[in-house]
Amino acid sequence: MMGLWEVLLVALALAMDCFSVSLASGMIVRRLRWGSLLRMALLFGLFQALMPLLGWLGIHYFQGSLERWDHWIAFGMLLLIGIKMIRDAFSPEDEKQFDPLRLKTQCLLAVATSIDALAVGISLSCTGYDRMETLWMPLGVIGAVSFLLSIAGSFLGARASSRLPGWIKPELLGGVILIGIGIKILVEHLSA
């Protein structure tokens, strides 16, 4: 089984997508809305902890199927959301549809950024986490780190947006970040 430091490193690696998406969302919103920020952070933390659990459970039933499709699903979701954000960047203000404050948007982002965590659950199963009781520490750390980095990303994004030149469109930057994360997930899985 992994020690606390190893689990912390895995949690930090998984939380980078949450941080990036939260950063972009904070730049789009341009000001802190604590209720929405905390809800997004909770969703990101919850899904980052839930997906490894599902991967751990799924290893016993769907081992080959999960590994074959998880990266394509994450890539597709992030690509679609990213394209929508980029399109909104060039739409008139009253026609913009991407809203990182909406619960539906936050749930989609939480799922899309956490799908690659399924593989962590599979690896937990292979590294000695053979009983449900042993999973609480790594899942708790993964969820807590994702929660904290999501808050930090939203906070930094909102602060940075006030310093951005007017010609930079946060929606465009956010869309490019999401597509980049999707491509990174796809490349990592296809080259493994």
Q: pLDDT tens across 42-75, in order?
A: 999 999 999 999 988 887 666 556 567 767 877 8
Residue 149 pLDDT level (bands cut at 50, 70, 90) = very high
Residues 6+ positions from 93 with CB-CB distance below 8 Å: none
Q: Residue 38, class by beta-carbon neighbours within 10 Å (0-12 exposed, 13-18 middle, 19+ buried)? A: middle
What number is the average pLDDT over the span 177-187? 82
What number is the average pLDDT over the span 124-130? 76
What number is the average pLDDT over the span 141-166? 88
How do residues 80-123 score in pLDDT, each as one tens digit? 877 877 887 787 765 566 788 889 999 999 998 888 788 788 77
* Measured distance CA(149)–CA(48) in Å, rounded: 12
> What pLDDT score does 41 carry?
97
Q: Taking a C-beta distance cutoff of 8 angstroms, is the pair 150, 19 a contact?
A: yes
> What pLDDT score does 40 carry?
95
The answer on pLDDT for 142 being more than 70 is yes
* Measured distance CA(115)–CA(73) in Å, rounded: 8
> What pLDDT score does 49 carry?
96
> What pLDDT score does 63 carry?
58
Domain that holds residue 21: 4-191
> What pLDDT score does 103 carry?
93
How do residues 12-45 score in pLDDT, each as one tens digit? 988 988 998 898 888 888 778 889 999 999 999 9
* Measured distance CA(2)–CA(46) in Å, rounded: 21
Residue 145 pLDDT level (bands cut at 50, 70, 90) = very high
Could you tell me which residue, 186 or 62, shows the higher pLDDT? 186
> What pLDDT score does 110 carry?
93
Among the residue ranges 58-62, 132-136, 164-168, the one predicted with the least confidence is 164-168
Tally the domains of the chain. Answer: 1
Alpha helices in 30-135 (DSSP H): 34-58, 63-89, 103-114, 118-126
